[in-house]
């Protein structure tokens, strides 16, 4: 139970206990009253006194809830985001002015933490500047080599790719970070090549073969196992895959350079999704813009999403499309998101857009701000697109309530303000701008929840379900 609910129960028991004690006393006195008139007068006085006691207890509870319980809840949330979420602004002492020296002490601790974090960050920055510069230079060189390169873990999850690999495979979505390569290329050829390399036990370190894209375009390829135990994950050694582009096909300019995360090699994937660390699960943070606020009547006009892998937003792994709602867009909606009838002319219909978004999301956890609203539009489109959105869903409104308490404002603007997430001018109320801001807020909220011991998807969803009930009760 939350602190506010515990305090409410305490005052409720206090009031009921006082009334019960008065009732017992009145009954005892009535039994010894000299006349029926005295008994009636005593009972009336007892009822009036009982009502006054309940009113007094309720009034004291309201004051206590407003100035103590809510203040403690807000102060705890502020300290959590400063301890785990990377927020450095000063604690608002005025909000907890009735808590004595607790708020000034919390503010002093926050300042010391910020100073220590700044000193640590400066020291780390000095030590890593040279390494980061070398890495950037190496990635810049590799990004312009005319080779389509992929590195995968033992269970065929992509841990590195360059822009040419995405262009060479040509799927929608492409084989991005932590995606299963077997869903983008001829799975049998890739699996057989790795199995042959393992069976050869080093006799032939390179396996040359032909595989096909989803569009049945043949590609010459060669594969070799990644050397050394440091490259070997829970499913055995990973591998490097180089794809040979068609002769004479022009080499495009590198779009996203090298994208990699070698920590994915050692990730355990045997646990059920709910029991796995949420940090280890891929998440797709998305937002929709619509013709209005009624999912049963209105329609989507834009969908955008970014992908989070291993606790960071993956550069270039995004989804964005306008959607033709097949109806006029009201001027009031256009005033909010800036999308009018001319903008969506020729855009895909919702069936195609929702199907593409479903492929982009895959088996990732879906995340949105006020997710029930966005998911209602997507689920209405399920029949048309022929797919079901069965992925787990997290709502940053509920995550915010779990961190800051149900009494706070949980709008996206308020949440970003508390977490020091900046939304660029002009990006607010665009699907991509809101998705990016929600993703940054989501990562900071996860860090706070992790500090409270809420690590797995099941634990976080149970916590948000509890706060969803509390939000319904208080609003």
- Residue 449 Cα to chain centre, angstroms: 12
Query: Do 167 and 188 share a structural domain?
Result: yes
Query: Do 306 and 445 share a structural domain?
Result: yes
Q: Is 256 a domain residue?
A: yes
Residue 401 sits in a domain whose CATH number is 3.30.420.10
Rounded CA gap, 177 and 188, in Å? Answer: 21
Q: Is 124 a domain residue?
A: no
Q: Is 117 a domain residue?
A: no
Residue 5 near residue 33, CB atoms below 8 Å: no
Query: Do 171 and 71 share a structural domain?
Result: no
Beta-strand relationship, 239-244 and 148-152: antiparallel
Q: Is 76 a domain residue?
A: yes
Q: Which of 67, 144, 279, 429 is an active site residue?
A: 429
The pLDDT tens digits along the chain (475 residues) read 778 888 888 999 998 888 888 888 888 777 776 677 777 777 888 888 888 988 998 999 999 888 888 888 888 888 888 877 778 777 777 777 878 778 888 888 777 777 777 777 777 777 777 667 767 776 666 666 678 899 999 889 999 988 888 888 887 888 899 999 999 998 999 999 999 998 887 667 899 999 988 888 888 999 999 887 666 777 788 899 999 865 555 545 544 568 888 888 776 665 666 677 888 889 999 999 999 999 999 999 999 999 999 999 998 899 999 999 999 999 999 999 999 999 999 999 999 999 999 999 999 999 999 999 999 999 999 999 999 999 999 999 999 999 988 888 999 999 999 998 999 888 989 999 999 999 999 999 999 998 888 999 999 999 999 888 777 766 5
Query: Do 419 and 293 share a structural domain?
Result: yes
- The SS3 call for residue 265 is helix
Query: Do 430 and 285 share a structural domain?
Result: yes
Query: Do 302 and 251 share a structural domain?
Result: no
Query: Do 251 and 337 share a structural domain?
Result: no
Residue 157 sits in a domain whose CATH number is 3.30.450.20
* Reported pTM: 0.76
Domain span at residue 235? Answer: 144-266
Q: What is the pLDDT of residue 37?
A: 78
Query: Do 293 and 430 share a structural domain?
Result: yes
Q: What is the pLDDT of residue 230?
A: 62
Q: Is 126 a domain residue?
A: no
Q: What is the pLDDT of residue 254?
A: 45
Rounded CA gap, 172 and 428, in Å? Answer: 27
The structure tokens listed for 67 are: 């100035």
- The answer to whether residue 84 is catalytic is no
Q: Is 125 a domain residue?
A: no
Angle at 256 between CA 254 and CA 260, to 5 degrees: 120
Our count of domains for the chain comes to 3
Q: Is 229 a domain residue?
A: yes
Query: Do 346 and 237 share a structural domain?
Result: no
C-alpha distances (whole Å) from 412 to each of 165, 239, 276, 314, 469 are 36, 42, 28, 22, 20
C-alpha distances (whole Å) from 28 to each of 36, 88, 403, 425 are 14, 62, 50, 72
Containing 45, the helix (H) or strand (E) segment is: helix 36-64
The structure tokens listed for 109 are: 């601790």
Query: Do 286 and 261 share a structural domain?
Result: no
Q: Where a domain ends, among 266, 291, 320?
A: 266
Q: Where a domain ends, among 110, 129, 164?
A: 110
Query: Do 291 and 255 share a structural domain?
Result: no
Query: Do 218 and 163 share a structural domain?
Result: yes
């Amino acid at each position: 139970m939350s602190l506010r609910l515990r305090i409410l129960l305490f005052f409720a028991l206090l009031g009921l206990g006082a009334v019960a004690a008065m009732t017992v006393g009145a009954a005892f006195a009535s039994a010894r009253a000299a006349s029926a008139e005295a008994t009636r007068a005593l009972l009336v006085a007892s009822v009036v006194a009982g009502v006054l006691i309940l009113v007094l207890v309720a009034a004291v509870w309201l004051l206590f809830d407003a100035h103590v319980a809510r203040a403690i809840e807000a102060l705890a949330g502020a300290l959590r985001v400063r301890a785990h979420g990377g927020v450095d602004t000063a604690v608002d002492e005025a909000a907890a002015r009735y808590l004595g020296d607790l708020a000034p002490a919390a503010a002093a601790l926050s300042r010391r933490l910020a100073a220590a974090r700044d000193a640590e960050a400066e020291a780390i920055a000095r030590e890593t500047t040279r390494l980061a510069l070398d890495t950037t230079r190496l990635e810049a060189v590799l990004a312009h080599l005319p080779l389509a390169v992929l590195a995968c873990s033992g269970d065929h999850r992509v841990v590195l790719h360059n822009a040419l690999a995405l262009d060479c495979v040509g799927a929608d979505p492409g084989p991005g970070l932590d995606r299963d390569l077997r869903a983008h290329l001829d799975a049998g050829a890739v699996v057989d090549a790795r199995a042959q390399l393992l069976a050869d036990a080093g006799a032939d370190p390179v396996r040359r073969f032909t595989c096909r894209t989803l569009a049945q375009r043949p590609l010459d390829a060669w594969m070799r196992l990644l050397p050394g135990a440091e490259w070997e994950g829970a499913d055995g050694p990973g591998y490097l895959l180089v794809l040979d582009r068609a002769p004479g096909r022009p080499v495009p300019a590198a779009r996203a350079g090298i994208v990699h995360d070698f920590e994915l090699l050692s990730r355990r994937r045997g646990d059920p999704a709910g029991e796995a660390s949420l940090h280890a699960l891929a998440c797709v943070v998305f937002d929709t813009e619509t013709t209005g606020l009624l999912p049963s009547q209105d329609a989507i006009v834009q969908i955008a999403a970014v992908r989070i892998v291993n606790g960071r937003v993956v550069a270039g792994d995004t989804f964005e499309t306008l959607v033709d709602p097949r109806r006029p867009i009201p001027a009031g909606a256009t005033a909010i998101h800036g999308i009018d009838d001319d903008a969506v002319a020729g855009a895909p219909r919702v069936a195609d857009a929702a199907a593409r978004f479903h492929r982009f999301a895959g088996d990732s956890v879906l995340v949105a701000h006020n997710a029930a609203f966005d998911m209602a539009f997507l689920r209405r489109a399920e029949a048309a697109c022929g797919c079901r959105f069965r992925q787990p869903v997290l709502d940053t409104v509920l995550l915010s309530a779990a961190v800051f308490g149900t009494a706070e404002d949980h709008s996206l603007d308020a949440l970003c303000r508390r977490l020091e997430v900046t939304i660029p001018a002009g990006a607010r109320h665009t699907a991509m701008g809101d998705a990016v801001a929600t993703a940054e807020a989501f990562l900071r909220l996860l860090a706070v929840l992790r500090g409270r011991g809420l690590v797995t998807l099941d634990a976080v969803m149970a916590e948000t379900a509890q706060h969803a009930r509390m939000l319904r009760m208080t609003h």
